[in-house]
Amino acid sequence: MNRLDTDVVVVGAGPTGLLLAGDLAAAGVRVTLVERRPPGISNITRAFAVHARTLEQLDARGLADELVASGTPITRMRLFGRPSLDLSRLPSRFAYLLVTPQYEVERLLERRARSTGVDFRYGTELRGLSQDTDQVTAEITGPDGTPTTLRARYLVGADGVRSAVRTTLGLPFPGRSVIRSLVLADVRLTEEPEDLLRVNGVGDAFAFIAPFGDGWYRVMGWNRARQVPDSEPVDLDELRAITRLALGTDYGMHDARWISRFHSDERQAPSYRVGRVLLAGDAAHVHSPAGGQGMNTGLQDAANLSWKLAAVLRADAPDPEALLDSYQGERHPVGATVLRSSGAIVRLAMARGPLLRTARALAARTLSSVRPAAAKVMGMISGLGIAYGPEIRRVPDLPLREGRLYELLRAGQFVLIAPEGTTPRLPDSAPTSPARLVRATWTDPARRTALLVRPDGYAFPAGR
C-alpha cells in the first residue's frame, strides 16, 4: 500500500476531537485534526460543568489540577427547592462538580494536543469521504477553498451535532426535540444566591443558576408561556422574568456578556462505527443540557476510543475488530442512558399537573433523604458509576508504591498492579504487549491479587 498522509484524521477540534487527537499523538500515532473554524478557541461558554469522572480522565493526562484552579468546585446541589445532593460524598479525589467554561477545557486540551505533535489544520472543512478495506479518503477544502484529499487508516467524526461525517456515512440520527425556547446567558448578579447551584421548576417555568467563580454566573431559564423559535430576539428582561417565576427572585442580574435562545434535541446514532470511520461526542449523541452531560460524555467517548485505536494501529491488539467494536459496545449504552436521564430531569422540571408535580416532589424528597438513591443518581451524573458490563469497572485512584494510579496512567499505557516480586501472566486477550506495561505494586503487602488497569482507568478482566 502507498504511504498514507496520516494514520488518523480527526474531524472537529471541539473538546472530544482535541482529547482524542492528543491521546493518539501521545501514543505515537500520526494524527491530522481538521477544523473548519479559523485558529483560536471560541470564547462562547457552552458547557460549564465538568464532572468527577471527567476530572479523573484529565488527571490521567496531568491536566486536572490546572483546570480545577480555573473554576469553582460545587459540593451541594439544590434540586426543585430541596438541598438534594451532597457531592462531597463522591468516592473520588474530585468530590464535586467543577463549574468552569468549556473554553478552559478546550484551551488545555489544545495545548496538550500541540505538545504531543498533532497536525492541526484550521480553516479546513470535511466535505465528503470514502473508504475501502485498507484506508479512508477524506475530501477537504483548505482555507483558500481548494479541494484536496487526505488518506488515512481511520477517520473519527468529532464534528458536533450536525456531523458531516455521520451524514456522509448515511447514518440516521433518530430522536426528537425535547425542549424549545431555552434562554441561556452569562450574567453578573447583585445578590449572591444562597446555594451555589440552584435548580427550580414550578411547572410553568424553570431556572438554573451556577457561578463560574470570577463574578460571572451561568443562568438558564424556560417559560411555558413563551415558546418561540430560536431566531426570535431575546433580552435580559425575558430571563429576569423567568428567573423570578421559577426562583422567586432574579438576584439583580445585569451585564449579560452573551445571551441566546436555543432548543434541545434528544438523538443518538444507531452505530458509532462503520468500517474505518467512527463517531464520538455530539456527532454520536445529543440530549438536553440538564445534568451537564454533553461535553463530559464526549470526553469520555474519546478516552474510551483513543487507546483502542492506538493499540490497533500499533498492532498490539490480538483481535483488532473486536477491540474497535467494543467502543460501540461500551459507549453506545452510556449515551442511551444519558439521553434517558437528562430527558427525565428536564421533563420533571417542566412537569405540570398534579401527578407529575407529585412525582417531582417525591424525586426531590427521595434524593435528599434516601442515601442509596442519591448515591445512584450522583454516580450516574458524575460518571463515577459508569461500568462497562459486570466485569469492566472503574478503578479508583489507588495509592501504590510508585505513586497514585492516575499519575501512573499519564504514560497512556496499561498499568499492571501486582504483589511485590511477582509477574502475573497477562490474559491472552489483553490488547497490550508486556513491553508497554507500567508495573506497579500494592502498598499493602498482604494483597495477593493482580489487577490490569486499562489506559482509561477501567479494569481489564484478568485470566481469560
Query: Cβ distance 288 to 436 under 8 Å?
Result: no
Residue type, 221: G
Q: Are 102 and 113 in contact (CB under 8 A)?
A: no
Nearer to ligand FAD, 142 or 396 (CB): 142
Q: Which residue ranges make up the site for ligand FAD (CB under 6 A)?
A: 11-17, 34-37, 46-49, 102, 125-126, 158-160, 164, 184, 260, 262, 281-282, 289, 292-296, 298
217 burial level (CB within 10 Å; 0-12, 13-18, 19+): buried
| Alpha-carbon distances, residue 462 vs 29, 415, 417, 425, 442 (angstroms) | 27, 13, 12, 9, 17
**What's the distance, CA 84 to chain centroid?**
24
Closer by beta carbon to ligand FAD, 160 or else 457: 160
Q: Residues near 284 by Cβ (< 8 Å), separated by ≥ 6?
A: 166, 268, 269, 272, 301, 331, 335
Between 12 and 457, name the residue whose CB sits nearer to ligand FAD: 12
Q: How far is the CB of 439 from ligand FAD (least distance, A)?
A: 34
Q: How far is the CB of 316 from ligand FAD (least distance, A)?
A: 27
Query: Residue holding cell 471527567?
Result: 54
Query: Closest separation between CB of residue 332 and ligand FAD, Å?
Result: 15
Give the shortest CB-35-to-ligand FAD separation in angstroms: 5
Q: In terms of CB distance, is 2 or 231 closer to ligand FAD?
A: 231
**CA distances for 410 relative to 69, 332, 404, angstroms:** 20, 26, 10
Q: Closer CB to ligand FAD, residue 344 or residue 392?
A: 344
- Shortest separation between residue 135's beta carbon and ligand FAD, angstroms: 19
Residues 6+ positions from 295 with CB-CB distance below 8 Å:
15, 46, 47, 50, 54, 102, 105
Beta carbon nearer to ligand FAD, 48 or 414: 48
Min dist CB 334 to ligand FAD, Å, is: 14
In the complex, the smallest distance separating the C-beta of residue 186 from ligand FAD, rounded to whole angstroms, is 11
**Which residue, 184 or 199, is less far from ligand FAD as judged by CB?**
184
Give dist(CA 434, CA 430) in Å, integer: 10
Cβ neighbours, 10 Å, residue 267? 18
